[in-house]
Structure 1
Amino acid sequence: MLTDRPSAQDMVATSDTSYSAALRRADRDRGTQDGEQGIPALAEVRRRQAELAGTGKSVTVGYQLVLLAELHEKLTELHAQFLQMSRTAGLELDRCDERIERAREDVLRWEQRVEAARVPLTPEELLPRNREEQRWSDAMLRHRREVARSRRVMCAQEELEHARDQVDRRRAERVAAVRQHQAAASGPGTRARGLVELYQRRVAEYLAALAQAHPHGRTLYPLLSLPPVELPTWVLETSSPSADTGSSS
């Protein structure tokens, strides 16, 4: 019997990853079964170790490969979900940018109208336009024209402020959309991290049981080290600040 071996929990960092008792039992049973059957053969493991010498890679055989392939398949599915979320987010942000641009164009138009409304009255504008106005004095006519001009300026200014508020609202909508999509996109990344930890624990549990039951368990145990499982690049990206998280300028 192999004694003083580290437990499966010692071989990986503890986490909240769900590892059910049934699944743990299945992994241990598989390790015990392979160990009792002398799988893998010590000679085969040493041969693989010699082939990988200097590469920095770990020897992985049998059930280890099955678990790692299963993990890869699940990560691939999560990556597809992540890509779909990214496409959806991109389309939504494009729509936000379009709305912001239209709101900016409205601001520009109303700025031009305010500027046009503020232009001083021309001599032609001060001329009478009907018989009633022909009876007015020049001062009264100018006063009426200035009142009308002030109203035009005020109305245009109100519309301009409304247009500027609309730009602010559209920008706020974009910021909210970015945050919403970032929160949603973190789901597959969190799930991927959990899966990596889960499968590291599963491999560790299997190896511990294998070493316990295998005739050459004491020798095999250090050779069948737990292979490192690197997080996919896309998972790391979900935990990094996005280059496009703010509102369109």
Structure 2
Amino acid sequence: MDAELGEDALQEVYSWIDQIPLSRAKRNIARDFSDGVMAAEVVKHFLPKVVEMHNYIPANSSEQKLTNWVTLNRKVFSKLQFRVPEEVVKKLVKSSSGIIEPVLYTLKQRIEEELHRKQAVEGYSNRSDQTLPDQTHLLMHSFEKKGQAYQGELGHNPRSGYEEYSALDPKIRLLLEEKEQALLALQETVEILQMKVHRLEHLVQLKDLRIDDLTRHLEKHKSKGNAK
């Protein structure tokens, strides 16, 4: 995701962003997107139900920017089957040049895939009442055949289950995807806790340095007093 984009891909990203109404004037794309708020607005424009804008606070501080991106990863990007790595997030927060474009390019692809999937599910739902019983019967028949194959051919490698998975009703596939998203959310929670631990460790180090500095000043002051 942090790989550089070619000129055509860059122009595609810039043109795409220019067509989206955002809350701020577009000046410097690295700074504009550094706090994650405009990234949330981009997703909100195409998938309104996925984003709750009150979770994302416009910020200048690195800590709040980081919080916004972590929340995006956990609550939004996980639903689109991707996440921004921690090292990339740190560069985004610092407004590093050339980092946001690959993220937006990937985001554009995931949004388009999600819109296509939603259209497919909505189109399918119009026929689901008639076709679901038949698909359920076929799926159960497939499971029965697979069970027989396991019993009769214990030494034989079973056929991959991808064919059966692809034949599942979209609603069933959606449930499986939601389970995957829940796992991603747990992973993001672990990352948040790890980052907080690192931050606390850093604060402890700073506090120790301050204590050492004050101790040296105190000893120096005492030595001067004794000299008198």
The one of the two structures with greater contact order (alpha-carbon pairs below 8 A, sep at least 6) is 1
TM-score bracket, shorter-length normalisation: 0.3 to 0.5
TM-score w.r.t. length of structure 1 = 0.34
Computing the radius of gyration over CA atoms, which structure comes out larger, 1 or 2? 1
